Amino acid sequence: MILIGTLFVVAACGDYQPFGGPLPFPTPAQHDLVVLTRPGALTYTADEQGNAVGIEHDLAELFAQELGVGVRFVVVPPEQMEAELANGRYHLAAAWLSPHADEGYAATPPLFQTRDILAQHEASLPLTDLGQLQGKTVHAMAGTRQAATMQRLSRQIPDLKVVEVGQGTILDLLESLGERQVEYVAIDQTLEEIANQYVPSLRTSLPLSAEQPVVWLLGPHPNAELAARANAFVERIQHDGTLARIEERYLGHVHRLNQADVTKFLGQMETTLPKLRRHFEAAETVTGIDWRLIAAIAYQESHWDPNATSPTNVRGIMMLTEETADRLGVGNRLDPRESILAGARYLNLLKEALDAPEPDRTWLALAGYNLGQGHLNAARSLARQLKADPNAWYEMKRILPLLAKPQYYERLKSGRARGGEAVILVENIRSYYDILVRHELPARPVAPGVERMIGMQGGSAPGLKLRH
């Protein structure tokens, strides 16, 4: 598994060379777009195949594509960000940054809005006023905006102690909070719902700062043409849906599970999953689908109960219909080994029928797992009629619920379907998968020639587990 600590050493070295003064405008023949960033769940991380992912990463790559140039990321630890911002050896800084205190630093229009908030354990007395921080100890990741916010508050609130943590990630720190090893943690509000997937005992009640924009910084001496192009790019993606699509890729599913859902799932991972893991890993060996995704589907379908049966006679740990089981040669739907392998094979069949790019292809196939291929095809046809992209999950999660409305399903041969339930199923599976990726190691490498599933979130930055 790739660690973030490795990433920034590699990315910051490579062919990164010091420059004197502003960088020239990037051109296809001579210069890449140089992007300064830092490791983090929202900025730049790696999936288990070593591919760089993250909201800021994806946006910067899109901007480079629009310019027709390559992109080179300079990834530095948070505590080095301020020094790197000052040296000007970059075209833009995309690191979940707010406008710089020095007004000489140019910035794009806002990409997002956020604020700093206080996280605490659900069992502790909620704090609702900044004055209640007196005498408290608050942890924050070193070099972050939250650390700066807490240092500022410590000069105003007596006996407020701030501990800046330089090891691990914010999710590691929040897990320490969940285990009552620390009392309070300052976090970015955007991370709250991501963190709730892993730390169900986390609660937030106290804003630590006013709402602030997230921008790209263009340095103290930006290239005028590049600044104009960057500003125009940000304005465009705000209005044409591009920004919303990327946000959905990383954050669109994280609000579905509640505290009880996550707590129960974590408990089942301890007690039930070890008994079934060998079957999930065996299915990965045959199908190439990450065993943790197969396990996430099985949990959503049956809560890992091999004997589960619905009123409509859908049965087994993967809740197969009789028709699907017969098609895949399943002799006993209540045999977990047979059911798990058949469910994984069925997902592959659904994926093979789609021409969408990953990860949308997998998410659409998951919807088909719930609805059946006929209803999924009908929904995609309806999307085309409504001028929506049938290969984009961002679009299809809006279209699928229409299958339950007469004005739409009456024009379709497949008839009515509970498309809204399929959307919920897909987003729940994505969250269960994120949790499994964080806590469970991948299977040993599959045999040569067996294709591994492309990561559902490009690695889902939130699902990266660091060990330190």
Catalytic residues: 301
The type of residue at 385 is: Q
Euclidean distance between CA atoms 456 and 460, whole angstroms: 7
Beta bridge partners of 204: 119
For the record, the structure tokens of 255 come out as 């609000």
For the record, the structure tokens of 382 come out as 């309806």
For the record, the structure tokens of 331 come out as 């002799």
The count of C-alpha atoms lying within 13 angstroms of the C-alpha of 180, restricted to the half-sphere facing its C-beta, is 3
CA triple 268-420-377, angle to 5 deg:
110
Nearest CA among 113, 138, 121, 97 for reference residue 196: 121
Euclidean distance between CA atoms 32 and 13, whole angstroms: 15
Using DSSP's 3-state secondary structure scheme, residue 411 falls into coil
Residue at token pair 């041969």: 413
Nearest CA among 444, 435, 443 for reference residue 464: 435
Calculate the CA 328 to chain-centre distance. 33
> What is the per-residue burial (b if ≥16 Cβ within 10 Å, else e) of 208-227?
bbeebebbbbbbeebbeebb
